[in-house]
Amino acid sequence: MKKVFIDTMGCQMNKSDTERMLGILSCLDYEETKEPKEADLLIVNTCSIRQLSEDKAFSMLGLWGKWKSEGKKIKIGLCGCVAQQKAEKTFRRAPYVDFVLGTHKIYSLPEIIKRAEAGERVCECTETNATEDDKAAEFPIHRVKSVNAWIPITEGCNNFCTYCIVPYTRGRERSRQPEIIIKEVKDALNQGFKEITLLGQNVDSYGKDFKDKNYRLAQLLRDINSLDGNFRIRFVTSYPTDITDELIETVVELDKVCEYFHIPMQSGSSVVLKAMNRRYDRDTYKKIVEKVRKMVPDVTITSDFIAGFPGETEEQFQETLSAIDEFELDYSNTAAYSPREKTIAAKWVDKYIDEDIKTERLARLNEKVRENCLKSNLKFVGREMEILVEDFENHKGQNVITGRARNNKIVHVPCEKDLTGEFVNVKITGAKTWYLQGELI
């Protein structure tokens, strides 16, 4: 058997693509290795959300190219968002690359590998308006051993936020067929996974593009919830104004669907939100969060924010800090603005914020997130929660299990036995910034 090494960068969508690629490659007699030096095939599955990941990808390709020039018999591939963006140009910058595979045609991999092994240099970055559902059933998925299986339900995005590269690298939004998704869920449950996370850039708009049926995320959740077994269901990411009352009611009504919403706000300032081409203002976001909190008991709401968007004033940045407080956001991912080629905001060079100011704002933003995360965690001290155990390790001489509550809070519990994959009830005894402490009950 030949060996393949895949370095996966960025988001969960990329990790999911890698699991699919490994499944396809297993049908071509490749087995995964975690050691690049022993691989016959080396692939970097890239993310282009930030310039840093792109630079890292090319530096890794450079290292592998050096191994090739020293006589190592290897094939090198560039996949993912950077591949989709750079396409043929990759060969000028990294001539040792054998194939470039974009985000739209993962299932072309067998054909591409065959041609690359025959000595051809191959580039497959054509954009399509269809999903690859027709091919998905033919190949296994090589899932990372864990309790949580990530299953894409939509690909691409139609929103064109002015800072975001996704619509250019992953194309327009396409919903996967429910029967294919449900089959993948059943396969994952049969393999022992206990939590299913439905994945998409904008999961709430799932099904909008179906011409032949009225089938939306709420219905998909109902159909998955009705499957046998003790498991949980989550979905990410939600676009604020696409969260319908029906969806919120479904979360409340279905026992397996967890009380957790990830609703990126991006900025607390309505002026900046408009410049970002987000389809809501501060007040609309506030109403959505309030509604979710009112309807879903014990819900956790997390968000994403960008510091230093072009033109952002100090006052507008402070509106972001106050939004985190006012809406009691439980946790937020943060990033300093990074211009991405092709996007509208990248052209606003005269409005770019100085790197020093961006770094300083990001530090203040992170501090605010930390503060609110601790505040949110403290609310649960003394409560009883069910956790799904994800890990067992010895920490400073003590055996500890780590699990996730339904609302996505991480809980550490002293325990002598490895209970990974089991649901256990715990009492919360303490709160730290990023996790809760508990004891078995």
Q: Nearest 5°: phi and psi at 103?
A: -90, -10
Read off the tokens for 305: 């924010």
Query: Of 25, 83, 94, 157, which lies in the binding site for ligand SF4, with binding defined by CB under 6 A?
Result: 157
Name residue 197's amino acid.
Answer: T
Residues in 221-280 that interact with ligand SF4 by CB under 6 A: 239
Name which of 64 and 280 has its Cβ closer to ligand SF4: 280
Name which of 178 and 200 has its Cβ closer to ligand SF4: 200
Query: Of 33, 159, 177, 225, which lies in the binding site for ligand SF4, with binding defined by CB under 6 A?
Result: 159
Count CB neighbours of 411 within 10 A: 25
Q: How far is the CB of 167 from ligand SF4 (least distance, A)?
A: 5
202 binds ligand SF4 (CB under 6 A): yes
Name which of 131 and 201 has its Cβ closer to ligand SF4: 201
Task: Say if CB 403 and CB 434 are below 8 A apart.
Answer: no
Task: Say if CB 129 and CB 174 are below 8 A apart.
Answer: yes
Q: How far is the CB of 170 from ligand SF4 (least distance, A)?
A: 8
167 binds ligand SF4 (CB under 6 A): yes
Q: How far is the CB of 109 from ligand SF4 (least distance, A)?
A: 24
DSSP class of 197: E
Q: How far is the CB of 336 from ligand SF4 (least distance, A)?
A: 15
**What residues form DSSP beta bridges with 331?**
302
Q: How far is the CB of 314 from ligand SF4 (least distance, A)?
A: 24
Whole-angstrom Cα distance, residue 294 to residue 311? 35
Binding segment toward ligand SF4, per CB under 6 A, in 86-94, 163-171, 250-258, 420-428: 163-171
Q: How far is the CB of 304 from ligand SF4 (least distance, A)?
A: 8
164 binds ligand SF4 (CB under 6 A): yes
Name which of 43 and 272 has its Cβ closer to ligand SF4: 272
Q: Is the dihedral of CA 81, 82, 84, 85 positive or negative?
A: positive
The alpha-helical segments, DSSP class H, found in 48-108 are 51-69, 81-86, 89-93
Q: How far, rounded to the nearest angstrom, does the alpha carbon of residue 127 sit from its chain's CA centroid? A: 21
Q: How far is the CB of 351 from ligand SF4 (least distance, A)?
A: 19
Name which of 152 and 403 has its Cβ closer to ligand SF4: 152
Name which of 239 and 331 has its Cβ closer to ligand SF4: 239
84 binds ligand SF4 (CB under 6 A): no
Whole-angstrom Cα distance, residue 306 to residue 297? 29
* CA torsion angle 123 125 130 131 (round to 10): 80
Question: Which positions ≥6 away from 36 have C-beta within 8 Å?
Answer: 5, 7, 42, 64
Name which of 168 and 327 has its Cβ closer to ligand SF4: 168
Count CB neighbours of 229 within 10 A: 11
Whole-angstrom Cα distance, residue 26 to residue 134? 19
160 binds ligand SF4 (CB under 6 A): yes
Read off the tokens for 217: 């995320």
The alpha-helical segments, DSSP class H, found in 118-268 are 133-136, 166-169, 178-190, 217-225, 245-253
Count of residues in contact with ligand SF4, rule CB under 6 A: 10
166 binds ligand SF4 (CB under 6 A): yes
The alpha-helical segments, DSSP class H, found in 27-140 are 51-69, 81-86, 89-93, 109-117, 133-136
Binding segment toward ligand SF4, per CB under 6 A, in 144-152, 162-170, 204-212, 240-248: 162-170
Binding segment toward ligand SF4, per CB under 6 A, in 102-110, 158-166, 321-329, 357-365: 158-166
Binding segment toward ligand SF4, per CB under 6 A, in 156-164, 285-293, 352-360, 389-397: 156-164
Binding segment toward ligand SF4, per CB under 6 A, in 133-141, 157-165, 293-301, 377-385: 157-165
Whole-angstrom Cα distance, residue 35 to residue 335? 31
Binding segment toward ligand SF4, per CB under 6 A, in 67-75, 86-94, 139-147, 164-172: 164-172
288 binds ligand SF4 (CB under 6 A): no
Whole-angstrom Cα distance, residue 189 to residue 186? 5
Name which of 41 and 263 has its Cβ closer to ligand SF4: 263
Residue ranges in contact with ligand SF4 by CB under 6 A: 157, 159-161, 164, 166-167, 201-202, 239
